[in-house]
Every structure is written in structure tokens, then in C-alpha cells.
Amino acid sequence: MGTNSFLKVLPEMVTFLRVAELGSFSAAADLLGMTPSAASRQVKRLEKEIGAQLIQRTTRQLRLTEPGVEALARCRELVLAAQGAMDVAQRFSKKPSGLVRISAPKAFARRVLHPHILDFLQRHPEVDVQLIVEDRDIDPIREGVDLVVRLTTKPPEGLVARQLMPVAHILCASPRYLAQGAAIAHPRDLLAHSCLSLGEHERDNHWCFRKGDEDEAEVVVRGRYVSNHSEVRLEAALAGLGVACVPAFMAQQALKDGSVMRVLADWEFQGNYHGHAYILYPPSRFTVPKCRVLIDHLLDALATQRGRRK
């Protein structure tokens, strides 16, 4: 390829990158606003210019060839450099401005981030925020999102990870429900109770617990109501329908006003929300002011909030 020949295949490089990352011409085409056949033609043009097959196509899947793996890394570097160039003005601007796109899991976005983002928007009138509420793991580089909040015990490699707050699942029930049933002192006592679980996966009713370094327990619970929405499970617990597993941040106010009570507080419930909430973003020598001020605002607000609870 000649010195300037790559200029005419820059769009093809972007298309190849998206196809390789998503593993599908259709998914890449949807993201890029084109047809799958157009995406396929662009990748073929890139292969012709490079002089090597980059993707092996079958009826069921796409697989990168050895040259394709190398090309993917180079195309990703190219797109990151382009995104960096587009942010040059922001990096050297003293005043934060522009749109910040941030994604977070549904419950965390609604109960934790949303109130602090409202305050942030009041403090920074030149910065706009798009809050993307998604429970799936979003790749900030591939999907063009500035900041990603993820709840995990181990943040992914290749991204800057700033710790926002610890997260955990807890069990709770209304005082009225607890007064009517058998005492719950050990996880096995839950077998005699109606338990409100997620129901997203086959083992979501297998509740696992840990106490200290040695004690562990697993019980298969049953209940009259199953929902994959934590706010729904909390409302069911408030209505006296049983013992709910919910994120601790979801139950905070209900615990404070006494409308629900913690169950098995001396046992650690091994639920989906376990570990810490991290705010993630691509590594760079510079963080644009609009992102930096939102990161700092969330870190400070959540640290202050935790301090008030102690």
C-alpha cells in the first residue's frame, strides 16, 4: 500500500474494526448506519488494498485470520487516535463544556447516580450529560461512551478504573412479614419462607452465603414472586410478600425508616451486586475537562455520602 493509499480506506478500517469487535456484519452495520452488504463490501475492499484475507466467513460465525488479528490492533489504535484528535479542543480548554455520555446498570443509575448528576448539571451549566441505563457490559471504546460504571470484583484490563463505592446484595423483609413467620438465624431457615429472587438465570434461586473465612451455606429458595427488577422486589418486600434480595443502595431509605428490616445481617450474601462500583474510561495522557469534572463530582459526592452514614 502506498504512502497515502490508506487515506481512501479509512472508513473501511473503521467498518472492519466494528465487524471484528461485534463478530457480525449485521451488528456492525446497525451501529454504523449502513446495510450488512455495504459493510461486507467495505471489508472486502480493505482486504484487497492490504492484500490479505482478514476475516474468514462461515454461515455461522466470523473468525479473524492471523493478519486480521494484527490489523484489528492497528485499526483500534487508529480509531482511538482519531477520537483523541476530536477532543483536542476540549483537552486544552480551561472551561468544561460539551456532552458527556455515561452508562451504568439500571438500579445503580436510578438510585445512586441520577441524584448526583442532577446536582452536577446545576453546578456545570456548560456540560450536558447523557445517562445510558443498561445492565449489559458496555465497551466505552467500541460504543463511543465516555464513561462506564460497572459493578464488579475485578475491573477489566485496558481501562482506567476509579473506585466509586462498595456494593453488595442484602436480604430484607417487612417487620409485618417477619413477625408472622419462623425466626431466621441461619440461611437454611429461609427454606421455610417465601423468598423474592431475580429469576434471570436457572440458579438465581440458589442463594449462597459466607460468614467469616470458613462458614459457607447454599440454599435453594422458593417464593410467590420473582422479578429481575430490584425495585420491584423491594416493593414486594414492603408489601409483605417475603424476603427479598436487593442491592444495599436500593434498600437504604427503607431500612432507615424501618419499613424493611435486614435479614441475616451477619452473613454475606453472594449476589450479583458484589465488590465495588468502578467508573471506567479509556487510558489517555489527558482526560478532557468535561469528563474530569463529572468523575471528580461523583467521587466527591459518594465519598461525602458514605461519610455521613458512618
Question: Which triple of cell numbers denotes residue 253?
Answer: 431509605
- Per the CB < 8 A criterion, the answer to whether 31 and 64 are in contact is no
Query: Are 165 and 152 a contacting pair, CB within 8 Å?
Result: no
d(CA 50, CA 182): 71
Cell, residue 250: 436500593
Q: Which helix (H) or strand (E) holds 248?
A: helix 248-256
Task: Return d(Cα 4, Cα 79) in angstroms, integer.
Answer: 17
pTM of the complete model? 0.66
What 3-state DSSP class applies to 133? strand
pLDDT tens for the 310 residues of the chain, in order: 555 666 778 888 889 988 888 888 888 888 888 998 999 999 999 888 888 899 988 767 788 999 889 888 888 888 777 777 766 665 555 688 889 999 999 989 999 999 999 999 999 999 999 999 988 888 887 788 999 999 988 888 888 999 999 998 999 999 999 999 899 999 999 999 999 998 888 888 999 999 988 789 999 999 999 998 899 999 999 999 999 999 999 999 999 999 999 999 999 998 767 789 999 998 875 678 899 999 999 999 999 887 765 4
CA-to-CA distance for 2 and 132, rounded, in angstroms? 42
